Structure 1
């Protein structure tokens, strides 16, 4: 479904990714892992068109999207949840969802209710400004906004970062539901090993901007893989 080949990304003269290859089959849940600063967020931003690429290609469902703007990738079916619980802080929960729905070009308002069905805790908070939500509530809203675009692939950058354990469990359950029950493909950057071990079908480990290991999710239990992820 998603195929990244020979991807190179740089910030000015500082190159961050060096020939990265990554594949996510339809309906799979793939996890990108690695220590801080190895290029995981840069990879997702390049996949979504937030960052330009120096070399390589990004294909989605067989289509070359390497030069495509981010908003067009979203309309193709790629939903993105960046790192840091990003929401429109001055807008209410309802306005956050509506703005995203309008920008997606969808005519079907039922997608907002579908997103709220996934995160029912947000319903009583629809009139509250997003900036006054807790970190966990903001992350739920960030994922709900991505779901409003009705994606076929959901891309999440460290969805458990800075979240209280009870909400981590809820987010894990939601991702598992979207993946297994709805058949949504998922590309996930995650530092929390136990979270990744429970969810991932496959994984890729980055180090210093290159792929150093990849395999089936069950291999995350191997000591050799865990040493690659140790701080």
Structure 2
């Protein structure tokens, strides 16, 4: 967490290999992946959902899921059904082009696309941004369920404090690229944390 411009998205892009690390190391499952290309990180089990409901707008919902599955390492087509099971709202929309979905539906599709790779770590960059409250609740339920039932680890950047508080086991607050505070998720409502996040 942190104010706008403190380096949260830059950190996620560095973890995924989209940006090179200027210093330090990125370690995943005990392995130094600092110089590893992005596609190999996905192969290790990292799924990334960038900020902004990223989809292929001219492809249908099903085509969006299939293109990700085809680019992945698993040949098991059931991963598409598993992703749709997490977001059943997408099932009746399979033939609709992603560009004609609401913002919330596009976000669910973006997360479902990441799930098609069967990640062990799901990285989410502000998944609630610009989303109606009912869809935010569905996304929150889905993340909690994935963590509880599948043991999926989640690295979440989020400005919506209540959403983060309900999901986080631990939190870290950044300021100008530096960790300024961290603790258990239950401490997110602490006054010091609110002060660090205030605009």
Return 5+ residue gaps in structure 1 as ranges. Answer: 1-32
Partner of 2:150: 182
CA distance in 2, matches of 1:34, 1:121: 31
Q: Which runs of 4+ in 1 moved over 6 A?
A: none
Partner of 2:94: 126
Task: Please identify which structure carries the higher helix content.
Answer: 2
Count of paired positions? 199
Partner of 2:59: 91
State yes or no: 1:69 paired with 2:37: yes
- Pairs within 5 Å for 1:142-161: 142-161=110-129
CA distance in 1, matches of 2:138, 2:169: 19
Q: Which string of whole-angstrom CA distances, capped at 9 and with x for unpartnered residues, describes residues 26-77 of structure 1?
A: xxxxxxx000000000000000000011111001111111011111101100
CA distance in 1, matches of 2:12, 2:177: 13
CA distance in 1, matches of 2:193, 2:82: 38
Q: Give 1:105 deviation, angstroms.
A: 2.2
Q: Which string of whole-angstrom CA distances, capped at 9 and with x for unpartnered residues, describes residues 74-108 of structure 1?
A: 11000100000000011110000000001112110
CA distance in 2, matches of 1:194, 1:59: 29
Over aligned residue pairs, what C-alpha RMSD do you find? Answer: 0.6
Residue 47 of structure 2: SS of its match in structure 1?
A: strand
Residue 181 of structure 1: SS of its match in structure 2?
A: helix
State yes or no: 1:44 paired with 2:15: no
Q: Give 1:148 deviation, angstroms.
A: 0.2
Return 5+ residue gaps in structure 2 as ranges. Answer: none
Compute the TM-score of the two structures, normalised by the length of structure 2. Answer: 0.99
Residue 145 of structure 2: SS of its match in structure 1?
A: helix
Partner of 1:56: 24
Partner of 2:164: 196
